[in-house]
Amino acid sequence: MAPAKPPASLEWEPLDEQQVDIFAHCVAELGPELRNLPDDLVTMLVRGYVGEKDPKQCAVEHMIETSDWRKENDIETALTPKRLPENRQEFERLWRSSIIGEDADGHPIVMESIGKIPTKEFAAAFTGDAAKEANFLAHSAFNKEILRKRNIVKSNEQQKRIYKMVVVLDLAGLSMSHLGSTFTGLLKTYIGKFSNLYPESLHKLLVINAPFVFSGAWGAISLLMHPVTRAKIHIISNPKYALDELKKMGSKLDFSFEEAYAKAPPLSSLAPQLQQIPPPFNPPNERRPRTE
């Protein structure tokens, strides 16, 4: 589970005394290599469970879980051409994630148009058996790694650590077919799979164009989320107010969400430029017991 309250530290701030203590405990339990976890994920896992009753043990357990999953699925090579998930073009035709801008801190603004997903087509392609569900999770992991590595590059460019993102979910066109057990079951699978593998990765989520039918579904879906995550989600039905919110965060979107999404390429277009990237950036004065 995620923390009971958000960590006090911002992404770019050095680890505080409690977080360094958690880090040192993980090193003592798992060794200095921390099961070969990438340094940015180590930071996220150290900070991600500060509010739990036993944050040290939570961090250790989730480092083991994350390391095992990454090794089992060879996530480190996920963005190489030979690892492009099967049916990628079809996946992005049906459910496209795109970066439409960034905020003042460099967080990517990622948009998805959930309401326009043709549920029957999507269900036929990515649900129904274990292989199809595994393919769906492979595409989701591919997206996660694109965004993670994009943030590593951005952190190095601006010499300021970031590892979170802003997400805009457009629900225009949402119908009862999106609220059926097959599609919502897929969302539950997604949340259950990735909430502990990429903790602390959400900065803010804006839900726009939410129809009335969404309220009942939101009540059910929100129960799956930790209160910390729920607190980052803002349902702003009018897109104009969501644009205003993003502008307060320093974004420079000069056109509508629909136009921005139409112009933005899918995440897979970023993969070639993320083949070779620098190591994750950390504040120069930060204590990191992994290297002490």
pLDDT for res 8: 47
Please say whether the beta carbons of 252 and 101 come within 8 A.
yes
Length of the chain: 292
The two beta strands, 108-112 and 97-102, are antiparallel
Residue 26 CB coordination number (10 Å): 26
pLDDT for res 7: 44
Q: Please state which architecture CATH assigns to domain 81-271.
A: 3-Layer(aba) Sandwich (3.40)
Alpha helix positions (H), the chain? 17-30, 39-47, 55-72, 88-94, 119-126, 130-158, 181-194, 214-222, 227-231, 239-248, 257-263
- When the pLDDT of each residue in the chain is averaged and rounded to a whole number, the result is 90
Cα–Cα dist 160/158, whole Å: 5
Domain residue extents for the chain: 17-72, 81-271
pLDDT in tens, 169-208: 999 988 888 877 778 788 888 888 898 899 999 999 999 9
Residue 104 has pLDDT above 80, yes or no: yes
Residue 3 has pLDDT above 90, yes or no: no
Please state the pTM of the whole predicted model: 0.92
Say if residue 78 is exposed, middle or buried (CB neighbours under 10 Å; 0-12, 13-18, 19+).
Answer: buried
Cα–Cα dist 116/121, whole Å: 12
Sign of CA dihedral 44, 45, 47, 49: positive
Q: How far, CA to CA in Å, does 221 sit from each of 140, 187, 225? A: 18, 8, 7
pLDDT for res 216: 67
Lowest-pLDDT range, 41-50, 61-70, 168-177, 179-188?
A: 179-188
Report phi then psi at 101, rounded to 5.
Answer: 165, -165
Say if residue 163 is exposed, middle or buried (CB neighbours under 10 Å; 0-12, 13-18, 19+).
Answer: buried
The pLDDT of 73-91, averaged and rounded, is 92
